[in-house]
Amino acid sequence: MGKTFLINPLLGKVRQRNEIVLAVASSGIVATLLTGGRTAHSAFRLPLNLANMETPTCNISRNSGKRKILKDCKLIVWDECTMSHKAAFEAPNVTLKDIRRNSNRMGGVTMMLAGDFQ
């Protein structure tokens, strides 16, 4: 519960400034604890066969609202990130670089990772 206690006020502060922040988690249960939280698969439209893809990407169409949100977001907070396959990070990385036309990691979006790092 300590991470959630820290993450939710952070999400609120960023949203208070009328900036877009995505709260994602590797599991649905954890996502429900985050204000406005979604699973990473839902938020990024991750394909189910990520681990088998040579270059994983998100299933986001050109004119979708999700694409606009990803283009405009300032921060992505990913809780329980240690439970996700590395391809689950590569897909948003590739997609954000494309959508934002920015070759920096995650298309230049700040990403805060939370989990049990041991």
88 in any annotated domain: yes
- Taking only the tens place, the pLDDT of each residue in 55-113 is 889 999 989 999 999 999 999 999 998 888 889 999 999 999 999 999 999 999 999 99
d(CA 103, CA 99): 10
64 domain-assigned:
yes
Q: Residue 42, SS3?
A: helix
> Is residue 118 included in any domain, yes or no?
no
Share in percent of the chain as helix, strand, coil (round to 5): 50, 15, 35
Total domain count for the chain?
1
pLDDT in tens, 30-41: 999 999 999 999
Q: Write out the residue range of the structural domain in which residue 88 sits.
A: 1-11+19-113
